[in-house]
Amino acid sequence: MEPRGPFTSFLDVYEYLSSDLIECLECGRRFHLLNPHLRKAHGMTCDEYRELYNLPVTAPLAGRLFRQKQSDKMRYLISIGVVTHDHLASASLKSKSAIHRKRRDYDLAEQAQRLISYRRKYGWDKVKNK
Ligand SMILES: [Zn+2]
């Protein structure tokens, strides 16, 4: 395994997060879910790990297979009415008042590029602010 340092590009992060299992960059082992391993083996929280490797604050620390399985499970629970969306109004309010953590530089650069492409695609720059 080649040693990996902090991420500096959006594409590298995307590649890192798109494999079936997520690799621990501390020891090179692969897992469905990184959180328990980080805590037990390296005494580290997910936030500390994201900070150390310059991962986006929202980066899911789980393999693609695990995330897909959770997604399917949630869709099923919604379809049979176990999970509802009644909480969204209060969750939205809570989110607006939450402390937002620092975004990574390459993340902001990628976001700026995306915004420019959306403006071109949808002509947002022609829309005047009211
Ligand atoms: Zn590890």
Q: What is the pLDDT of residues 33-47, one digit of tens each?
A: 999 999 999 999 999
82: helix, strand or coil: coil
Residue 80 lies in a domain: yes
Question: How many structural domains does the chain have?
Answer: 1
Please report which confidence band the pLDDT of residue 130 belongs to, taking 50, 70 and 90 as the band edges.
very low
- Under 8 Å between Cβ of 56 and 107: yes
Ligand 1 midpoint to CA 23 (Å): 8
Bridge partners (DSSP) listed for residue 100: none
Predicted confidence (pLDDT) per residue in 68-91, tens digit: 999 999 999 999 999 888 888 888
Q: What residue numbers bound the domain in which 114 lies?
A: 10-84+95-121
CA distance 89 to 83: 15
Ligand 1 midpoint to CA 24 (Å): 5
- Under 8 Å between Cβ of 45 and 75: no
C-alpha of 118 from chain center: 21
Task: Please tell me which residue, 100 or 88, carries the higher pLDDT value.
Answer: 88
Ligand 1 midpoint to CA 13 (Å): 18
Residue 5 lies in a domain: no
Residue 3 lies in a domain: no
